[in-house]
Structure formats: structure tokens, C-alpha cells
A and B are shown apart, each in its own frame.
Chain A
Amino acid sequence: MKIKSLSVPLLVCWLTAFVFIPLLIIVIASFLEQGEFSLFQFTFTLENYKELFSPLFLKILIRSITIGFTVTFLCLIVALPFCFLVVKSRIKLLLLLLIIIPFWTSSLIRTYALIALLKSHGLINTILLKLHLISTPLNLLYTNTAVMIGLVYNLLPFMILPLYAAMERFDFKLIDAAKDLGANSAKIIFKVLIPSIMPGIISGCILVLLPAMTLFYIPSILGGARSILLGNLIQQQVYVLENLPQGAASSMILTILLLLLMLFYKQQSRGQP
């Protein structure tokens, strides 16, 4: 029965050794040179970070950020009214379960499932052609649009669940109070509802924005040559070019972005239960 009494130290050691230390190694490796025979050699350099400002990299970074923020924004504006309706619904447990199921199922499979819809002879084009809304099939698959559809499709539940949790804690009497005091709908939404559920909104944005930039298989399945995102770049640096220090430096951008978002979260959730 040793395992029982050792469970806490074991858990702490496990997380330190296999989660914390690997994350620390990324920081260190991003300052090291690529080795000729090994993966890296212990010479300090800032070259990996300089490389991040090369035109090619900047282009991919800007595209990733644009697509990432667009996807996050789309998820948010869909999820906000949706959660509002679900929280007030009488069958909310069932409605929630139907969101949880895609949350846990393989996003690889769900991405693959989109191909049949987006193909030039796929479901969407067939329906649009039948309805005579278009005369030639739309070019959807292997474009940035397809990548964005794929990302929203995969990440929407990640926005809905934290938003829903935040809205469930929201006191809807506040809306009645605001109405009594003569606030219009816009004021109620932007001055009462949104500020109270801000922590939920930020958690949702963190859970959508970072995966949107890093789920490399979505652009590689649905996108074309011009839809490479940060995640694909890191995958190629590490897996194809075997330049781990460069890959580590690219991952640091994501880490910094994550830390900034978390600081924002801390600041916003101060003074809330």
C-alpha cells in the first residue's frame, strides 16, 4: 500500500518532471544553437529569435494572428447569444450535453468530416447549385475560408462551455433592475451582462485563440499551400527540418501570448467571486 501514502509526492514529481521541466527546456533551448550531429549544442545565441523577424516568418505570424483573432471573434459572437438562450432554456442539460459531445470527440475526425461538405462536388455546393443560388461550384476546400470554417467548427464548444459556466453564475435579476432604471438593450448588454461574464469570455478566448493558431492538422487537411499557420511552421521546423531550437523559439511566441492573456484574465477577474 506504498502507492497510497506516496501518491501526493508521486503526483508532484510526475508533473514537475514531465510537464514543468519540459516547458522549462523550451525556454532554454530557444537560446541554443542547432547542433551538427545532435539536436542542439550548448552555445548561447539570439539567432533563433532574430529569425522570427525574417519576412517569411512575419508573414506567417501575421496570417496566424489574423486568422486566430477572426476565428475567436466569430466563435464569440455566435456563442454569446447561444449561451444566453441555453441558460434560460428548460431543457438546458440536454442542450449542454449536445455541446459537450463534440468537445470530447476527436477533432481530427470532425475535421475530416468537413471535407465531404466543402468539396467542389460536396454537399454545400450541391445544395447551392440545386437552389440556383450559384451557377458554378464555389471553390471552398483548400482555401483559408475552409481553414476558418474548420477552426470555428472545432473550437466553438471551447468557447460555449466557459461562457455558459459564467452565465449560469450571472444573476439575471440584474437585467430586470437595469430595465427598471431605464437602461436600453444595448446598455444592458454592454454595461451589465458583458462586464459580469468577462472572466468567462476571456477563458473562452484563450481556449479558442491558442488552438486556432496551433492545431496544425486543420490547415494541413483543409487548407492549401497559402494557409500555413504558426502551428504548421513549428511542426515543420521540428519535424521536417529537425531544427528544435528554432521550433522552441517559435513556441515561445505562443507562450508569451498565453501569459499576456492570463495577465488580462487576472486583472479582469479581480474582485469577482
Chain B
Amino acid sequence: MQLQQYAVLLEPLLTQAAGYARSILRIRADAEDAVQQAALRGFERIHTFDENRPFKGWWFAILRNCCVDLLRRSKSAAAQGLEEVDLPASPSPETLDWQQLNSAMNRLSEDHREILRLRYFADLSYRELAETLGIPQGTVMSRLHLARNALRAQLGDGT
């Protein structure tokens, strides 16, 4: 696959990728770095992409690894234990919403947190979730359902 073709496939994923990376890394600049790194790493490993499988699921698995690598390297945010988010000067209630959602997800088990992040921040389909997480689609269905219940319990039924 040529760089041009790869760029065409990647283009529609970038905005959601940034949101997904931000949900893990919290800091906007770090999220951008992770997406950049995943974009380059994806092309470097393009020969491992099976065209019969969803590109989005394959590439988000790479992005997920880049986020985990970056999270390990940038100890500062984790050490501070703070959600260091670049809030506007006077945050609107809407701006706080994604942080509340993310905080609630952070209180869930890793399996539940991961599938919810990929579903809501990255907008992955069941087939893409199965590809990214390396699990069968049937497991995606049941895990996502349980994860939603757990999230609803965290946020209250009002959501």
C-alpha cells in the first residue's frame, strides 16, 4: 500500500483517534503525539494489515499501544494523579462532561473501561472492537452490555 492510499484510509479516523487518545492520556498535546506516532507506526507496519479485516480496528490497536507506551513514559501526569486537562478559562458544563464520563470509566475494570473508550471516544463497531481487542464479536456484545451497566451504576441512572 502506498503512502497516499494509507493517508486516505487514515484521514477520517483522526478526529476520533485524538479523542480516544485524550481519554487515555488526558493531555491534549500527548494525545496528538500518540496519534502522530500511531500514524507513522501504522504505515511502517502496513504489511501486517489484512485487507479482509477492518482497517479502523487494526489501526486503533496500534494507537492503543502507542497511548500505553506514551502513558508509561510520561510518568508526570500519573504521578500528579491529577486530570491535567487544558480547560478553557471558564469551563462550560459541556466541557466538564467528557471528564466526568472519563472519570467514571476510570473507576471501572480495565476490560470495561477499554471497551467503553473504544466504543464512545473512538466510535468502533462491534467488528472493529473485536479486531482491536482480539476477542470474538459475541464477547464484544456481552462485555459492552456489562460495561454499560457498570458505567450507568457509576454515573447514576440520570445519564
Co-assembled chains A and B:
no
Interface residues of A, Cβ cutoff 8 Å to B: none
Interface residues of B, Cβ cutoff 8 Å to A: none
